[in-house]
Structure 1
C-alpha cells in the first residue's frame, strides 16, 4: 500500500509539472492610466484614426488581458470643451476607478468628443496619486502627446508623487512625439522612477500601452501562497513542495532571517530549496549592496546552502539555491532525516527596505537503479542562428513563478536598463537548450547585456555571460546547456551537474547601464532551440517515510483537482506521465499548509 501511495504521488508530480494557475492573493498592483485628452489628441495618426481613437482601441485591448485581481482605472485631462478650456489647469477627471472586474468600462471609457482643453500634466499626476491611495504597489501610466501647460512643473510633480514611496512609479507613453516634447516626457518618466516608451501610430500605441499595463500589473511575486517564516529555527514554519512568498526585512533588522521546515514524504529523497529576491531600485538613494542566502540543517548539522548578491539601482533578481543533501557528496544524515530546517537570510547594507522573497521547494524521489554517470561531453554547438522574429512582442517576467513560456524560434522582446526578465523553455531528458540574444547598436548610451540559464529546480546551469552594446556596436550573447541526464549530478563540472532534471529551464536576461542612461525600452531578439531526441525518464521510485501516513500523503495532493487514488490507478495501469514526473509530491499551492 505504501508503494501505491508513492506511485500516486509520483504521477501527481507529473501533473504538477504542467503550468499551474496562479494563486489568488492580495498582492496585485493598482494602476491608473492617465490619458491626454487635449485638442491635439483628436488629430489623425498613422492608421487613419485619431490619436484618441488609437488610445481607445489600445486601452480596450489592454483591458481584455487583465486578470481577475488586477485593479486598473482610467483618468483623462484636457477634455474640457468650454471656451476658456485652454486656461483650465484643473481639467482632470477620473472616468473609471481602479478596481477589479471593470474591463468592460475600461473598454468604452475613451469614446470622447473632441476637446479644446489644455495639458495640465502636473495636476493630473497629483490627482492620480491621490486616487491610488497611499499604500501598496501602485503605478501611474501617462499617455501623452501635447507638451505640458499650466504653472505646475511636471518634473517636480512626478518626483513629488513618488518621493519616499518606492511602491509608486510613473511610466510614460509618448504618442507621436519628437524633439523637445519627447525629451520632456522622458524627463517626467525619469523623475517618477518609471520607464518611457515611444508610440508612433495606432499599432505601436496598442503595443506600448499593452506592455506598460502588463509590466505595471506584474509585480515581483509569482504564483503560490503567502507564508510567514519563523524568527528562529525553533519557530520555523512548515512548507511543502511548491512556490511560496514571504517578506524579509532589511539586513541587521529583527526579521532579516525567515525560518522554515520541510517534512519529507519519500525516504532518501533529494530536496531542492531556492529563494529569490528582486533588488529594489531607488535612483535617489545611495548605491547599496543587497544579498540573499539560503542554508539547510538537520538539527545543528549544516546540509548545504547557496547565496547571491547585487547592487541597489539595478532591479537584479538574486537567486540562492541549496540541494539537500549536496548532489556530488551526499551526507547520510542529511539524506535520511525526515525533517529539514532551512533559513532564508538577507545580507548587505542596513538601510534597505523590506522586500518580498519568492521561496521554492521541491522533493525529488530517489532513483536508486540509475547510474550516477554524467552524460558524455556534448561539446559546443554551432551558434544559434537568429532569424526574423515571429509572433507578438514577448515580455519576460520579473520572477521565476511568472515566467512566460517561449516556443522554439526567434522572438522580439524588450527590456529597460536596470531590469531583469525571465522566460521559460521546456527541455526533456536527453535534450539540451540553446539560446542567444542580440542587442542593438542604436540605443541611448553604452549598456551591458547579460544572459544566464537556471534549471527547473533553480540551480545555475549557465553562469551569467555578458557583452557591451550601444554607441554603434551591437552584441550577441549565446548560451547552451549540457544534455539533460540524471547522472549529471555526479559531475565535477558545476554546469553539467546542474543539468540533471527535465522540465522548464529559465532563460534570465538583464541589461545594466549608468544612471544617466534613459529608462527607455531597449528592443532585442531572443532565440531558443531544444536539440536532441527526448529519452525516457529515469526510474524514480521510493517508499513513504515512516511518519507519512496515507492521510498525510493524500493531504499533500489536496486541491490538485486530481484524486490521489485515480493517480495510483493510472500508475498501476502504466499510463505515461511525461518528462515532468521527477517530483515526489505535487507542487502545492499551499492549501492546507
Structure 2
C-alpha cells in the first residue's frame, strides 16, 4: 500500500499544507485560458490518500493522518470565500484488495462549491486511514467532478504507489486530453523509487507540477502568503476577434485591446489595423502564456506590413522563465530610415500577422492578447531631448515594507507606487507588478532576499536563480543593459544562496527619440504608461514546495513631463487600456517638495561615482536566465528590420552612433555568451 524511502522527519504534513496552498495558486497560473466571467475563479478538487499507510508515524510523535488533518484544516481556513473547492478521498471504506469494491473505493465527500468551508472542515476531521490505493480510478472520478469546461485543477496527495489497475500515468494522459484548462498537480509524501516515478509521471502527463513533501517548513508563514494567491487564474482579456488565414477578409481593428487563439494548424492569422491619425505610429503587442513544459525558444512571429507588402516591423515573442512562463512580442510601424518610415506612416491601414511558426504543437488552441496602440506624429523634434544614455542607479531611501499580493497575469498585476513591499516567492512562480512612468522618468526595481536558515535554507538546496524583468506597456523587454552602479550587477539574473541576495534592474529614461535606438531598451522606453516588473525563482527536478521571503523596492526617478512632445493638432495617443500619465508628480512626492527623484524602501545604496544625475529607467520583461540569451537575439532581429537600402534620417535627429547598426566600429549590447554579462552557473 505504500513505498517509503529515506529518513523520517517531523511535521512533514506541515510542508504538505504549504504545498497544497501552492498548488491552489497553480490553478491560477496554469496554461492560458480565455478571460473568465466575473467571479469565475476556476474549480479545484483535492484527492486525498486515505489508505492504511496513513496510520504510520509522521516522525513527531503523531501519525501521518493527525498531521494531515491539522495541515488541511489550516489550508481550508485560508481559502477565498468564492473559491470553488471539493474534497475526494480514496481507500476510505474497503479494507482489503480482495474485497469487492476495493479498486473503486473513492468518494466525493464534499461536492465542489463555494461557501462550503464548514463541510470541508467536518470531512477533514473524519478523514481516517483504512484501505487500498486506487489512484487511477480516483483521478477519473475527480475529472468528472470538475466538469468539461473552465479552469480546472486536480490536486493529488499520495504517500505511495497505486495498488490497483489501471496505470495512473496512462489515466493522467487521457485526462489531459480533455482540455488545456485541466491539469493535475501531485504531492508525493515521503515517497521514493517506483512510487515517486509513478507520481511524477502523473504530474507530467497531467500538465501539472510535482512536489516532494519530506521536510519541515514554517507552516504559518508559508500558508498565510500562499493562500492569498489561490484562484488567481492567468487571464487573457480583450474583445474577442478572429484573425483571417490571409490578408483578404481579415477583421479591421482600431487601436484597442483584443483576444484571439492560435489555430489548429500552422496557418498564420491576419488583422487589418485602421490608422485613425494621419502619419501616426502604430504598435501591436501579442502576449500569451507559454504552456507549462514547453520550449523556451519561441518561434512565433509578430509582423506589421503595409497592404502592399512593405515590412515595417517584426519580432519573435520572448519567453520568460518560470514553469508558467509568459511570452510577448511586439511590432511597430515606426522606422528610423526615412524611405521606409514614409511608406509605413502613409498607409491608412497596416496588416498585423501572427504566425505560430514551429511552435504549433505547443500553442495549438492557446489564447493570446492583442494590444494595439496609436501615437500621433509630433509637431517638431528639434526641441526634444536627445535619446537617453545609460542610466546610473539612484540610491533609494528606506521605508517600512507593506504587504502586497502579486499578480499572475497582466490584468491582475498590482499597481505600485514608489516604496517597499514584502511578499513571498515559490520555485517556478512568476509574479507580475505594474508601475506608471511618465516622460522624463525611469523605473528602478530592487529585490532583497534576507539570509535564510533552518528548513528554508535546506529546501533551497544549494543555489537558485532569481530572475527579474521590466516590460513596456506594449510588451517589450526594456531593462537597461549597461546601467551603472546597479545593486547586484546590471543584468536580470541573480544567484540566490542561503546567504540571501540583492538584485536590481532599471530602465532608460522615457524619451520620444529613444525610438531611434537599436535595441528594446531604447525603443521600448519611447512612450510613457504602465510598465511591468516580473520576478521568478528557478525550480529543480524533484523540487519541494517552499517559499522565500522577499522585499520589492520600487522607485520612479526623474521629473514627470520632462521632454513631453507636442503632438500635431493637439492629438493624444490612443492605447489598448491605459492612457498617457499626466505630467504631474507621483502621489508619494509633494508637489512643492522640489525633489525630482522619487524612490522608496530599505535599499543598499551603491556608490554613485558617475558624474551626472540618473537619467533612465522603466520596466522590461524577463523571468529566467533566458532573458540574456534573448537580448543577444534581439540585436539580430533589429538587423532583420533594416531595409536593403537604408536612408538615414537627416539631422537634427539627435543620434548616437553606438545605438545604430550602421556604425559597426562602436560596441552594441553583448551577446549572452560574451564575458561579463552572465553570472556564474
Do Structure 1 and Structure 2 share a fold, with TM-score over 0.5?
yes
Equivalent pair of 1:35/1:143 in contact (CA under 8 Å): yes
Deviations 1:449-492 (A, max 9, x none): 43221111323311784546467786544211122333433456
Distance 1:427-1:288 versus aligned 2 partners, 3 A rule: closer
After TM superposition, give the deviation of residue 360 of structure 1 in Å: 1.1
CA distance in structure 1 between the partners assigned to 2:337 and 2:107 by the alignment: 63
Equivalent pair of 1:129/1:161 in contact (CA under 8 Å): no
CA distance in structure 2 between the partners assigned to 1:507 and 1:52 by the alignment: 38
Equivalent pair of 1:425/1:504 in contact (CA under 8 Å): yes
Given candidates 432, 444, 447, the residue that maps to 2:442 is 432
- What is the match of residue 341 of structure 1? 351
- What is the match of residue 122 of structure 2? 111
Equivalent pair of 2:236/2:368 in contact (CA under 8 Å): no
Distance 1:57-1:339 versus aligned 2 partners, 3 A rule: same
CA distance in structure 1 between the partners assigned to 2:167 and 2:480 by the alignment: 43
Equivalent pair of 2:445/2:552 in contact (CA under 8 Å): yes
CA distance in structure 2 between the partners assigned to 1:149 and 1:201 by the alignment: 30
- What is the match of residue 543 of structure 2? 518
- What is the match of residue 564 of structure 1? none
Equivalent pair of 2:513/2:526 in contact (CA under 8 Å): yes
In structure 2, the gaps of 5 or more residues are 1-34, 482-490, 587-681
CA distance in structure 2 between the partners assigned to 1:331 and 1:579 by the alignment: 34
Equivalent pair of 2:88/2:110 in contact (CA under 8 Å): no
Equivalent pair of 1:223/1:401 in contact (CA under 8 Å): yes
After TM superposition, give the deviation of residue 233 of structure 1 in Å: 0.8
Distance 1:311-1:205 versus aligned 2 partners, 3 A rule: closer
Given candidates 503, 506, 509, the residue that maps to 1:480 is 506
Equivalent pair of 1:61/1:210 in contact (CA under 8 Å): yes
Equivalent pair of 1:30/1:137 in contact (CA under 8 Å): yes
Given candidates 220, 224, 236, the residue that maps to 2:250 is 236
- What is the match of residue 283 of structure 2? 272
Pair 1:450-2:467 in alignment: yes
- What is the match of residue 72 of structure 2? 55
CA distance in structure 2 between the partners assigned to 1:424 and 1:86 by the alignment: 59
- What is the match of residue 371 of structure 2? 360
- What is the match of residue 249 of structure 1? 263
1:217-236 to structure 2, matched below 5 A, reads 218-219=233-234, 221-236=235-250
In structure 1, the gaps of 5 or more residues are 1-21, 67-71, 546-552, 561-566, 568-574, 581-593
After TM superposition, give the deviation of residue 120 of structure 1 in Å: 3.8
Say which SS state the counterpart of residue 280 (structure 1) adopts: coil
After TM superposition, give the deviation of residue 83 of structure 1 in Å: 8.8
After TM superposition, give the deviation of residue 190 of structure 1 in Å: 5.3
Deviations 1:183-222 (A, max 9, x none): 69974645644235668676357447636743xx513x42
1:283-432 to structure 2, matched below 5 A, reads 289-300=297-308, 301-308=310-317, 315-326=324-335, 331-348=341-358, 351-354=361-364, 355-369=366-380, 371-374=383-386, 377=389, 379-381=391-393, 390-391=402-403, 394-397=405-408, 399-407=409-417, 408-417=419-428, 420-432=430-442
CA distance in structure 2 between the partners assigned to 1:161 and 1:106 by the alignment: 31
Distance 1:233-1:128 versus aligned 2 partners, 3 A rule: same
Pair 1:507-2:533 in alignment: yes
Equivalent pair of 2:259/2:369 in contact (CA under 8 Å): yes
Equivalent pair of 2:257/2:369 in contact (CA under 8 Å): yes
After TM superposition, the structure 1 stretch with the greater mean CA deviation from structure 2, 445-454 or 79-88, is 79-88
After TM superposition, give the deviation of residue 312 of structure 1 in Å: 11
Given candidates 272, 288, 313, the residue that maps to 1:261 is 272
Structure holding more strand per residue: 1
After TM superposition, give the deviation of residue 381 of structure 1 in Å: 0.8
Pair 1:195-2:195 in alignment: no
- What is the match of residue 530 of structure 1? 555
Deviations 1:270-298 (A, max 9, x none): 22211123332347xxx685312111122
Aligned length: 510
1:42-121 to structure 2, matched below 5 A, reads 51-52=68-69, 55-56=72-73, 58-59=75-76, 61-64=78-81, 66=83, 72-77=84-89, 90-95=104-109, 97-98=111-112, 102-105=113-116, 108-112=119-123, 113-118=125-130, 120=133
After TM superposition, the structure 1 stretch with the greater mean CA deviation from structure 2, 121-130 or 322-331, is 322-331
CA distance in structure 2 between the partners assigned to 1:32 and 1:431 by the alignment: 47
Equivalent pair of 1:143/1:172 in contact (CA under 8 Å): yes
CA distance in structure 2 between the partners assigned to 1:303 and 1:295 by the alignment: 8
- What is the match of residue 4 of structure 1? none
Distance 1:289-1:295 versus aligned 2 partners, 3 A rule: same
Output the TM-score relative to the length of structure 2: 0.61
Equivalent pair of 1:196/1:521 in contact (CA under 8 Å): no
Given candidates 31, 51, 70, the residue that maps to 2:44 is 31
Say which SS state the counterpart of residue 109 (structure 1) adopts: helix
Output the TM-score relative to the length of structure 1: 0.69
CA distance in structure 1 between the partners assigned to 2:551 and 2:222 by the alignment: 23
CA distance in structure 2 between the partners assigned to 1:207 and 1:173 by the alignment: 19
CA distance in structure 2 between the partners assigned to 1:317 and 1:484 by the alignment: 24
Equivalent pair of 1:56/1:107 in contact (CA under 8 Å): no
CA distance in structure 2 between the partners assigned to 1:208 and 1:36 by the alignment: 26
Deviations 1:564-586 (A, max 9, x none): xxx9xxxxxxx979699xxxxxx
Equivalent pair of 1:489/1:496 in contact (CA under 8 Å): yes
Give the root-mean-square deviation of aligned CA atoms: 4.9
CA distance in structure 1 between the partners assigned to 2:446 and 2:321 by the alignment: 27
